[in-house]
Amino acid sequence: MKIPQSLRYLSVLALVEGASLVALVGIAMPLKYYAGLPEAVRVVGMAHGALFLLATATLAWVLSRGHLPAAKGAGVFAASLIPFAGVWSHRMLVRNIKERS
């Protein structure tokens, strides 16, 4: 069975989006509040927002095509809201891809 490219794309996107959340919470917000650099949150926040929307749209696409069970899709979405949970999403998606091959 051929593995859907969108599923592979989602697994990489989970890592990138997760890293942007960590950068926002762990780097940009402390720079804003402790170093007086609100530009950091503006730039990193905008990048994270765009990545979050892209990841959510990709997840919706994957779910609408039936490439991922709804329960796992809910887990991927919930993980996108928690710093460092993108690693969990990525690993779960990679396991799902390996099970299909």
pLDDT tens digits along 32-84: 999 999 999 999 999 999 999 999 999 999 999 999 999 999 999 999 999 99
Residue 29 DSSP label = H
Give how far Cα 52 sits from Cα of 15, 34, 43, 95, 98, Å.
11, 26, 14, 22, 25
Domain interval for residue 70: 5-22+49-100
Residue 64, in any domain of the structure: yes
| Res. 1: pLDDT tops 80 | no
Residue 27, in any domain of the structure: no
Res 92: pLDDT: 95
Write down the pTM of the prediction.
0.92
Spatial distance between the Cα atoms of 69 and 87, rounded to a whole number of angstroms: 19
Residue 32, in any domain of the structure: no
Residue 54, in any domain of the structure: yes
Residue 44, in any domain of the structure: no
- Tokens 């390996």 belong to 98
Q: Count up the domains in the chain and report the number.
A: 1
| Res. 94: pLDDT tops 70 | yes
